[in-house]
Structure 1
Amino acid sequence: HKELLLSVFYGYLSDLQKQEERGELLQPLIFVLLVLCSILLYFKVSLMDPGFVKPEEEVKEGEDKGQGVVILQLPGDIKLRRCGYCLVKQPMRAKHCQQCQHCVRRYDHHCPWLENCVGERNHPLFIVYLSVQLVVLLWGGHVAWSGLYFEQSREWLQHNIFLLVSFLLILIFTIVVLLLLVSHLYLISCNTTTWEFMSHHRISYLRHSQLENPFDQGIILNLWRFFCSRHLTAWENIYFHKSSEPV
């Protein structure tokens, strides 16, 4: 195996040397930059605040504290649900995460790969991360496939086992990331979350609404609000504007 890895490594170096002689180092440089960008996005999404609901936010309701948070002044007959775990008032679409031990705004899911929740603050960056990761995987799969030599020889498997296993692993991860990205983009275009989609019948504000999805404002506005809005959204405004029944 060491000889095989060394042969692949030296083969890769020789290929880079040939590309350097031909002045074709732009593509390998772009690929390396994409890999670095993917790594940085991973740490950014995994370490950033996904939209934790903080206890101090309910002290001065109706005021903007300069943190990009929209605090909603609700009518007196509408009460926000208080979380039974961390005892904060949950904005609509928030959910308590048992792994993070926090309530998360516009909770989508807890990602074990990131070891962090995907919520209203980091969800757009999560989509960017998936997109970059998909490009890296497709490019890596193309490189692995192009490196295979399809020649009838007894030693073919021995010389190509590393690239073949790499290609199969990349193919599996590519399918997973592609399906994940497509499903998230579909849910975003409908302005719903993975949690709401999977637990629609158990969520009170969806179960009691006259509309199937009271937050859907059309594909264009849904995408604009998701990717371009700099402030957290007071979803109660949209909900009670479209539905006359209180939760």
Structure 2
Amino acid sequence: MAPWALLTPGVLVRTGHTVLTWGITLVLFLHDTALRQWEEQGELLLPLTFLLLVLGSLLLYLTVSLMDPGYVNVLPQPQEEAKEEQTAMVPQAIPLRRCRYCMVLSVPTATPAGSAQGGVRRYDHHCPWMENCVGERNHPLFVAYLALQLAVLLWALYLAWSGLRFFQPWGLWLRSSGLLFATFLLLSLFSLVASLLLASHLYLVASNTTTWEFISSHRIAYLRQRPGNPFDRGGAEGL
């Protein structure tokens, strides 16, 4: 096998995320930010806490990215075995259906994901940044990752801002602080995206709706034929 055959999109995306994460962390330590000042003053608790949060967010990212999102078994299964379990989870007014892709009996929220492994149970969306689907098994960890990542991003944003010292001439300032300023802009963009993603997913969790159902309700039979979401049990119950 050629070496470049190992460079799958998943490997490239996860490697890029890891390099970007530690690269930003290194920039915050190398410049005169509050992080470096704490380190020089011997106050190591906050720098160590920040590093642990960065490491935790990275490990959670890799976990969600690599884990099985809940692929439906593509092997033929007796209808009687699936019916007993699934009818207990799905209201009787909502008929069970077969997945068009893998032809197994599935609950209404199991959606084909275009994978050789079959459909994904309670499919939410395909995340290109993780190069993995988000479904029944990894969706709770995905939301937890968004929350932790947002906390890390906001703290890093504060640290980057603490190291910016604006002065003239601008050419000299750009040479000394250009990389830190670019990091600040990048962190601002990532923080905005993470905030919007977390807010939207918390809303969808509260209404017991997946991203796929929210976006494609007009194409989903069990939603198109009903005025509301049949799975909505209220915000408190959903969360």
Which TM-score band (shorter chain)?
0.7 to 0.9
Q: Deviations over 1:116-147 (max 9, x none)?
A: 11111111100010111111111111111111
The answer as to whether partners of 2:35 and 2:47 remain within 8 angstroms in 1 is no
Equivalent residue, structure 1, for 2:82 = 61
State TM-score, norm by structure 2. Answer: 0.77
Q: Deviations over 1:140-184 (max 9, x none)?
A: 111111111122334112211011111001111111111111111
Equivalent residue, structure 1, for 2:87 = 72
The answer as to whether partners of 2:110 and 2:119 remain within 8 angstroms in 1 is yes
Equivalent residue, structure 2, for 1:3 = none
Cα gap change, 1:78/1:160 in structure 2, threshold over 3 Å: closer, same or farther? closer
Q: Deviations over 1:187-215 (max 9, x none)?
A: 11111111111111110001112x31111
Instruction: Tell me which of 137, 141, 147 is aligned to 2:153.
Output: 137
The answer as to whether partners of 1:53 and 1:104 remain within 8 angstroms in 2 is yes
Equivalent residue, structure 1, for 2:6 = none
Where does structure 1 lack aligned partners over 5 or more consecutive residues?
Answer: 1-5, 64-69, 224-247
Largest Rg, 1 or 2: 1
State TM-score, norm by structure 1. Answer: 0.75
Number of matched pairs: 210
Instruction: Tell me which of 102, 119, 126 is aligned to 1:103.
Output: 119
Could you tell me which amino acid in structure 1 is paired with residue 215 of structure 2? M
Distance 1:77 1:27 in 2: 54
Could you tell me which amino acid in structure 2 is paired with residue 104 of structure 1? V
Could you tell me which amino acid in structure 1 is paired with residue 177 of structure 2? N
Q: Which has the higher helix share?
A: 2
Equivalent residue, structure 1, for 2:46 = 27
RMSD of equivalent CA atoms: 3.0
Distance 1:140 1:15 in 2: 9
Distance 2:112 2:93 in 1: 24
The percentage of aligned residue pairs carrying the same residue is 53
Q: Deviations over 1:22-78 (max 9, x none)?
A: 331111101100111011101111111211112469432356xxxxxx443689998
Where does structure 2 lack aligned partners over 5 or more consecutive residues?
Answer: 1-25
